[in-house]
Amino acid sequence: MSEGTLYDKVWDRHKVTELPNGQDQLFVGLHLVHEVTSPQAFGMLRERDLDVAHPDRTFATTDHIAPTEAEKRERPLADDQAEEMLSALERNVGESGITFFGFESGEQGITHVVAPELGLSQPGMTVACGDSHTATHGAFGSIGVGIGTSQIRDVLATGCIAADKQKVRRVNVEGELGEGVYAKDVILKVIQDLGVDGGVGHVYEYGGPAIEALDMEGRLAVCNMSIEGGARAGYINPDETTYEYLRGREYVPEGEAFEERKAYWESISSDTDAEYDDVVTVDADGLDPLVTWGINPGQVIEISEPVPHPDDFEARTDREAAEQALDHMEIEAGQSMLGYDVDVAFLGTCTNGRLSDFEEAAKILEGNTVDADVRALAVPGSETVRQQCEERGIDETFINAGFQWRRAGCSMCLAMNDDALEGDEVCASSSNRNFIGRQGSKDGRTVLMSPAMVAAAAVEGQVADAREYLDDGSTGGAGGVEEVAD
């Protein structure tokens, strides 16, 4: 087993005891709550006449069902089920003394966007939330895990969860990213190399030059999709980039207290001689933007590559999955994804709904217009992100190009509100999952990509290489349709 890694240190410092079933009882430093997975858990506490053990460590927002059109946020919500979930959350947090970032707070948004930007997520923490993308918070050097309703109950009642310690795989990402290649491409490349189930039984420790060069929003995007690679969690050791991001944020201590906290943060980084259960290297030098061609995030290619043939895969299950993907996506093996028609462009989510994502997409949209046949949605990950974009005039760039500029929420990532695909629409999406039905239609088709690539697809009405819109127009050897089409 691993020794001396950040994961080992954080685990040991939060372990309360070993349980009779062999699991460890872990103290949870930060518990994030939203409207979808918490009502039943609060109900279980009420049945047992229990109070929330640590309301000061528990924070709530509304994201999954949040309408993104301003006029649809008036209460009661038009969707009766959504209104019921939101009302239950408001009642539960009010009775428990839990801080709630609701519509009127100015800080509402997606859980995994709100907590980092407020400084709630900090190095060395254990973070739990009833959402699989809690791994996002590992960008700070914390251990973030998604939990189910019964575990939410446990955290609310005791501040602890029962958990199995995982193996630690070090993922070294070597090389330097070229212009127009982003953190989203890095994590898609990791998943391409290691597979959607490659991380089962592991947590991923990301490192290497390409990771260290990322800013915090890029690191959040990488850790966010750890779960898509099968890992229980993913993290990056904290460094000066981490500390400078945290300095001055609302829930981060100031002055001498900050320096004391920083000393602790530095102490929990992986030792230089730490032992890992596994070490792999991913080469990011010369990497082209990646897009998915199938129905899981591992079915992904660099934009310069052709769609693979099912026979290219060794495992029977992978061949069958490829055949199903080709059929659903209505594409042929050997085809390029360049030129694949899109009907919808969606930019947002806990993966790519932050300020830098909209800034990069705006570079593509400046002076360009969304294709007449494309429905384009820009959904900031939080109201804070929306305000930051509007202060910089980024919203005007999107609106002038033809995007709908929305309010914060999960939106079309999983279509629990009105934002959904219709029929067999194809969506160029900055989200994290391309499962069948994920965006609200069983016939809908999702192509995952970076925010800049979403913007380029919106303009051209088809999958395109965003690098063609940047200053030097470099495609870094991406080639074109004619090089890869059969």
Annotated binding site for [4Fe-4S] cluster: 350, 410, 413
CB atoms within 10 A of CB 309: 15
Contact criterion met (CB below 8 Å) for 41 and 152:
yes
30-69 burial code (b ≥16 CB/10 A, e <16): bbbbbbbbbbebbebbeeeeeebbbeebbbbbbbbbbbbe
- Three-class SS of residue 278? strand
Contact criterion met (CB below 8 Å) for 389 and 109:
no
Question: How would DSSP label each residue in 379-424?
Answer: --SBHHHHHHHHHTTHHHHHHHHT-EE--SS-GGGTTSSS----TT
What is the C-alpha to C-alpha distance for residues 211 and 80, in angstroms, rounded to an integer? 44
What is the C-alpha to C-alpha distance for residues 145 and 126, in angstroms, rounded to an integer? 8
Annotated binding site: 350, 410, 413
Q: Quick one: tokens of 38? A: 């918490």
Kindly state the DSSP code that residue 109 receives in the 8-state scheme. B
For residue 125, give the nearest of 114, 146, 110, 140 by alpha carbon: 140
Nearest 10 degrees: Cα torsion 388, 392, 398, 401:
180
Contact criterion met (CB below 8 Å) for 112 and 234:
no
CB atoms within 10 A of CB 21: 7
Phi, psi angles (nearest 5°) of residue 276: -115, 155
| Single-letter code of the amino acid located at 172 | N
